Chains A and B, each alone.
Chain A
C-alpha cells in the first residue's frame, strides 16, 4: 500500500533532507547513522513487544494451534512455562531483548520453525520483488518524466495525469485488472508465481505502477528544474546536444530526490507486498506477516517487524550512500 502523491513523498523527502543537512565527514556520518540504526531497532523491538501484548487472546493458545484448538489446561500451562509467558512482563521484555542480541528470535507458533529460518526462507522472494519493482518503477517514472518534459505541453499534461492516476490506484485493484487482462483473457502472463522471470512480471508491474506515479512526479519536477537551470543553459551554449544535456546533466539531478525516496519507497513496497503476495500467491515476508498477525504468532510478527525495520534502515542508509555518490556535495564539509 502506498500513500498518495504528495504527503508521504514530501515527508520522505523531508527526512532525507534532514539527514542531508548534517553533511559531515564520512566516518562520523556513518557512525551517527549506525547509532541511529541501533536505536531504531531497539525502539521497534520495544514498541512491537508491548503492542503485541495488547492483542487480545492468549498467546499460549496461539502456540497450541490457535483459539480453535481444544488444548487442555495442563497443556496451556506447560506452553506458558515453556515460552516464559508466566513471568512478569518486564522480565519477559528483558529476556526477549537479550535473546535478540544473541540472534535468537524464538520459534514461530504457527510455522513450527525458528523465526530466523522462517524469515530467511521468505525474505528472498520479497527482496527480489521489491528490488525488481523499484527498478521498474524507476525506469517507468524516468521514461514518463523524460517524455512529458521533452514532448511539449500536451505530453506534460498526459504525463501528469498518468502519474496522478497511477498513484491513486489501489494495488489489489490493479492486480485484479492485470490478472483479468493478461492472464485470464489474453493468457500472456501467469497469474501466479512460476519459475523464471515471467512469473514476476504481473506482481512487479502491480507494485511498480503506483510507485512510479509517486517517483515520476518528483522526478519530473526536478528534471524540469534541472533543464531550466543555468548550468544546462551553459552546457547547451557549449554545444551540447539535447540527448547530451539529458544524459550528462539533467537526469542525474532528476535522480537525486528519487534516490532520497528509496527508503520510503521500500517501506511502501513492503506494505504493498502484503497484498500483492497474497493475490499472486508468492512466498514472501508480506504474506507471512499477514498470516502471522492473523494467527497471533507473536515471535514471527516481532521478527518480521524487526527485519523490516532493519531493512528499512539499511535501505535508507544505502540510499544516503548512493545519494552521496550521486551528489558529492553532501559528502563534503560546508566551507
Chain B
C-alpha cells in the first residue's frame, strides 16, 4: 500500500531571490492550466480528492504532524508566511516581519480583518496561543515542536504585532513558519478538548471542515467569508469550489480506476505506470511536485558491522546497479539523484562519480575489507560471518516500484557477495526495528525543506534516540567536524558562506559513502483535465484548491 505517513519536517531555504533562479523552473511545481474552453472561472461544484496516504488520526496538524495532515490541512488552515515558486518568503497571515540585529527577536505584523471561521479574530494573542499549543507537551506535537525548537517565548507587542524571542539565531525560522504543521488555528477552538479539536479544527482557510466520516472521507465546504489568500494566489475572495470531498483510497489500482472513471477528480501518490498511462489519456493530466528536503536514499548504518567499514559501504554502493531499474520501474517519471538533498533544494550538491556501478571495484574493496571467502551460497564471509545486510522496508513508505528497486539492488549486490535481507514490515514494526538498531540499511524518506535537513539527519546528536526510541540519524554518521559545520550553517546568514558550509557537509556525507541516493521524493498528482487552477504550494508541495475551479 502506497501510504506514506512520515514525520516530514520542512525547513525552507533562506532563499534570496538571486541565489535560486536558475534551474528552479524545471523542478518547481507547475500549476494545472486545464484544457477547457472557457477562461473565466466557474463558481461552485464539488471536487473529489482521493488520497492514497493514510487517513490522519487528527485533523489538527499541531498534533503529531505528518504529511497526510499537511495535505488536508492546507485547505482549511493557513500559515503566517508562505513561499512563492521562486523560493521567496511571501506574506500570508503576516503582512510583514522584521528580524533583530542579533537574530534573536522577530516581530510579525498580522493581516487586518481576518477572522477564524468560528468568528474569533486573528490577533497577536491568537498567534501566542498557537505557539503555546504547539509547545505544550500535552498536545503531542512532533514536527511543529521541533520547528519551534529555538523559540524561547512570544510576546504580544500590540494586537496586530507578535514578537518571537529565540534562544539562538535561526536562519530557518521563516521557512519553518510556512509549514502547515505551524498553521494558525482559532485560539477559542484550541481550548476545546483534544478529541474535538482533532475532529473539527478551526482556521482561517478557504474551506471549513464540515464532516469527517472515518475511513471514508472528510467533507470540506467553502468558507464564504474568506479574506486571506497568500500573496501569490490567483484571485481574491472565497474559493471557487463550493465543496471538496476528501476521500481515502489506500489501494493505488482502485484510486486510479476511480480517477479514470471520473468518480474522483484528483488523486495523489500516483503510481509510475499510471502516470505514463495518464499522459496518454486525454482526460487526465499530471501535476508533479517533488517534495523538498532530503532525496530518497538508502542509509547505510555506519554504527555497526559491516557498514562501520567505509570500504564495505563503498563496495555496497559500487555494487548496486540502480539506474536501469529506476528507468524501467518508474517509467521515466523519476530522475536518478546523486545528492543527499531534493532537486528542489538550491543548495543541493551532486556527485555522480561516487555512485557509478563498478562491481569490479566493489570486489576489490571487499577483499581489502577482509571479506575474502565465499560460502556455499556465494555470499562473502569474514571470520565465518556472512556479509549480511539487514534491510527493513516500510511497506507504508516505500511504494511498490521502490520495493522492486530494492529487490534489484539485492540481486546486483549479491553478485559481489552481499546477502541483503529485505524485510517488509508495517510502520510500527519498522520503527521498532530501527529503535532496536536492528538494521544495516534503510530507506527513510525524511522531508525537511532546506539544507538544514542535513543537521537533523546527520548530526551525531540525532543518533541518541528519543524516549520512544526514535532517532533521525539512521546512517549513524558521527563526525565532530560535520556536526560543527552544520551547526554553524544553521546560524550564518551570509549566503555564500552558508552555501559553502553546506557543500562541505554534503561532500563529507557523500564521500564517506554513508548514503546511496536514489531519486527525489516522488509526489505526483493526477487530475482530470476539467480541474483548472490547481497548484501545489511551494512550501511542502501540498495541493491548494483555493484557485481551483471545475470547467464542466
Contacts and interface: CB of A to CB of B under 8 A. Distances in A.
Would A and B touch once assembled, by the CB under 8 A criterion? yes
Contact of A111 (B57, B247, B256, B429): B57
B121 interface: no
Interface-centre pick from B194, B256, B470 (highest chain A CB count, 10 A) = B470
Interface in A60-74: 61-62, 64-74
Contacts of B137: 72, 74-75
B305 to A, nearest CB: 25
Contacts of B216: 125, 193, 281-283
Contacts of B260: 183-184, 187
Contacts of B478: none
Contact of A183 (B64, B250, B257, B467): B257
Contact of B58 (A61, A72, A112, A122): A112
B432 A57 contact: yes
B251 A190 contact: no
Nearest to B426: A294
B545 to A, nearest CB: 20
Interface in B434-472: 435, 466-470
A192 to B, nearest CB: 5
A68 B467 contact: no
B257 A122 contact: no
B375 interface: no
B323 to A, nearest CB: 31
B140 interface: yes
B261 A183 contact: yes
B7 to A, nearest CB: 6
B261 A69 contact: no
B459 to A, nearest CB: 15
B247 A192 contact: yes
Given A56-B432, A281-B254, A192 B468 contact: no
Given A111-B214, A179-B254, A281-B248, A71 B466 contact: yes
B428 A296 contact: yes
B140 A118 contact: no
A128 to B, nearest CB: 13
A280 interface: yes
Given A65-B142, A75-B140, A112-B198, A191 B215 contact: no
Nearest to A284: B215
Contacts of A279: 251, 253-254
Contacts of A280: 251, 254
A176 interface: yes
B195 interface: yes
A70 B258 contact: no
Contacts of A283: 213-216
B165 to A, nearest CB: 23
B357 interface: no
A19 interface: no
Contacts of A192: 50, 247, 249, 254, 258, 263-264
A69 to B, nearest CB: 5
Interface-centre pick from B63, B145, B250, B254 (highest chain A CB count, 10 A) = B254
Contacts of A183: 257-258, 260-261
A295 B396 CA distance: 12
Contacts of A70: 7, 142, 145-146, 466, 468, 470
Contacts of A43: none
Interface in A19-33: none
Interface-centre pick from B6, B63, B137 (highest chain A CB count, 10 A) = B137
**Size bracket, chain A contacts:** 35 or more
A113 B199 contact: yes
A107 B57 CA distance: 13
Contacts of B263: 190-192, 194
A164 interface: no
A123 B267 CA distance: 27
A225 interface: no
B427 interface: yes
Interface in B92-121: none
Given A179-B254, A279-B251, A72 B467 contact: yes
A56 B250 CA distance: 25
Contacts of A245: none
A61 B254 contact: no
Nearest to A286: B215
B431 interface: yes
Contacts of A125: 215-216
A287 interface: yes
A48 interface: no
Interface string A157-196: 0000000000000000000100110011001001111100
A288 interface: yes
A147 to B, nearest CB: 32
A118 B199 CA distance: 12
B201 to A, nearest CB: 12
A103 B59 CA distance: 28
A313 B486 CA distance: 62
A129 to B, nearest CB: 13
A278 interface: yes
Interface-centre pick from B6, B64, B256, B261 (highest chain A CB count, 10 A) = B261
A68 B58 contact: no
Interface string A97-116: 00000000001001111000
A179 B54 CA distance: 22
Interface string B506-537: 00000000000000000000000000000000
B428 A281 contact: no
Nearest to A67: B431
Interface string B1-17: 10000110000000000
Contacts of B253: 176, 179-180, 279
Contacts of A111: 57, 214
Contact of A294 (B142, B256, B427, B470): B427
Contacts of B255: 281
B98 to A, nearest CB: 32
A229 interface: no
A64 B469 CA distance: 13
Given A113-B199, A190-B258, A64 B248 contact: no
Interface string B32-73: 000000000000000000100011011000011000000000
A76 interface: yes
Interface in B215-268: 215-216, 247-251, 253-258, 260-261, 263-264
A179 B257 contact: yes
Nearest to A71: B468
Nearest to B52: A281
B215 A288 contact: yes
Contacts of B198: 112
Contacts of A87: none
Contacts of B257: 179-180, 183-184, 191
A110 B428 CA distance: 13
Contacts of A121: 213-215
A179 B249 CA distance: 14
A67 B215 contact: no
A280 B248 CA distance: 10
29 contacts: A61-B468, A64-B468, A66-B431, A68-B427, A68-B431, A68-B470, A70-B7, A70-B142, A71-B140, A76-B467, A112-B194, A121-B213, A125-B215, A184-B261, A191-B254, A191-B257, A191-B263, A192-B50, A192-B247, A192-B249, A279-B251, A280-B251, A281-B249, A281-B254, A282-B215, A283-B213, A283-B214, A283-B215, A291-B55
Q: Shortest 4 CB-CB distances between A and B: which pairs?
A: A67-B431, A283-B216, A281-B249, A283-B215
Given A71-B468, A113-B214, 9 more contacts: A58-B468, A111-B57, A112-B198, A179-B254, A183-B260, A191-B258, A192-B258, A279-B251, A279-B253
